Structure 1
Amino acid sequence: MKIGKNLAVILCNGEPPEKEQLQRSIDTADLFIAADGGGNIALQYNLLPDIIIGDLDSFHQPDTVTVPVLHKPDQNINDLEKALNHITQLEVENVLVFGATGQRLDHTVKNLSVMKQFHNQFNTLVFRDKFCDIKLINSPHTEQVTPGTQISLFPLSGKVTGISSSGLKYKLNNHSLENGVFDGTSNESVSDQVVITYESGDLLLFINHQTD
């Protein structure tokens, strides 16, 4: 999927992305931020963030490299929140986050909550890992994809009602998705455009990578 102009890339301390995958995104970005321990991953890849933000309980500043660091010790918010708060002050429109998933499951779930918190503050806010792109979508939502792409829909919090779709193998027609009751995992696109509408709730869209 494509991300619009005015792009910030954030690297968190979850499952590291492939270096080439991260490098491609940084090359098109206006800003590269590491959230605390994400700075260790960046330096292991010989990539220098524009700034490292967090409580700094995980980042280890090497003697041979100088990187701008913004210490935010507040323990009531996590390091991704601190990075996103910083970006909102810079009027960035599009954000691509690596390392927000994997490793500790509780951290992944927390970061999905952070996605909901900041969803309306950016034009796009996407989590990307080795397997998929994750985004919280508004209704209506149109996604350009390659036919045969695996797509999943999941209610982030509770229940999403009145979901309808076009361009998916297993069509939804005024369906509801609810945690612990029914979800929309492992669907598949049958055209190059998928359109999703819904009435209420918080709907996550997962788009599996075909090449990464």
Structure 2
Amino acid sequence: MAFHSDFPVTLLGAGPVYPGDIKEILNIAPGLVAADGGAATALEAGRVPDLVIGDFDSLPHSTGESLPKDRLLHVTEQDSTDFEKCLSRITAPLILALGFTGARIDHELAVYSALARHVTARCIVIGSDDIVFRVPRRLSLGLAPGDRVSLFPMGPVRGRSEGLRWPIDGIDFAPGGRIGTSNAATGPVQLEFEGDAMLAIIPRAELAAAMAGLSAAPRGVRAR
């Protein structure tokens, strides 16, 4: 059982989120999938999830009882997080993930690890100020001069750039070595990478630019 949509999908977690944010993102990505306890957040905002995916260790009993059984996908294995369970079971052009930042740091780091591993999923994690997504092998971003562009490697990776104040050509990036935070655009940005391990962090105000860039980029061929 999985969730399929021809349109972008909102993935809602149980982390801090304002009801207004849920309405804003659902206007962009109308399908709603909740990760485990995110179902309670959805109901509090007046929305019934199309599907709830998780091991249900954080799903309130009353919430589970109030939802139709065919909207509950119980995944019992404990080798992946609820976020990862959702990524591997949603088929959509884009996933906009809300409610996965601003709470437990270990949970948030696990989310970014999953982004780097699932190369076939196009997912943007939305925080209060920033958005985070895995950079495909080639990506164009319609940014304005001065827009912050931070690059954080989740593994060894090399690439090249156009439109960055400090070009990345020839740099060996690694989590315990060289990282690329606090760079800035000089205009539209072009990125190319030899691997799938780079995350981009840009202002939330540039969500539309990220969605357009990811929608146009070539897709990965495998999930690790």
Q: Give the TM-score normalised by structure 1.
A: 0.82
Q: For 1:139, which of 121, 137, 143 is the aligned residue?
A: 137
Deviations 1:34-76 (A, max 9, x none): 1011112222222221122212121223499545322222222
Q: Which has more helix, going by share of residues?
A: 2
Gaps of 5+ in 2: 1-5, 208-224
Aligned to 2:89, what secondary structure does the other structure show? helix
Distance 1:152 1:87, change over 3 A: same
Counterpart of 1:8 in structure 2 is 9
After TM superposition, the score normalised by the length of structure 2 is: 0.78
Match of 2:220 in 1: none
Kindly tell me: are residues 70 and 199 of structure 1, through their superposed partners in 2, closer, same or farther at Cα, counting changes over 3 Å?
Answer: closer
Contact 2:126–2:204, Cα closer than 8 Å, also in 1:
no
1:86 maps to what in 2?
89
Q: CA RMSD, aligned part only?
A: 2.4
Corresponding position: 1:160 with 2:157 = yes
Q: In the alignment, which residue of structure 2 is the partner of 1:25? A: 25
Contact 1:12 1:37 in 2 (8 A): yes
**Equivalent residue for 2:213?**
none
Q: Which amino acid is the alignment partner of residue 44 of structure 2?
A: Q
Instruction: Structure 1 unaligned segments of length 5 or more: list them.
Output: none
Give me the whole-angstrom Cα distance separating, in 1, the residues matched to 2:64 and 2:194: 54
Once the two structures are aligned, what percentage of the paired residues are identical? 27
In 2, are the aligned partners of 1:149 and 1:210 still within 8 Å (CA)?
A: no
Runs of 4+ displaced beyond 6 Å: none
CA 63–69 in structure 1, closer or farther in 2 if over 3 Å, else same: closer
How far is the alpha carbon of 1:21 from its aligned partner? 2.5
Contact 1:152 1:207 in 2 (8 A): yes
- Closer, same or farther: CA 175–38 of 1 in aligned 2, 3 Å: same
**Residue type at the aligned position of 1:109:** L
Measured at CA, do residues 104 and 63 of structure 1 come closer, stay the same or move farther in structure 2, by a change above 3 Å? Answer: closer
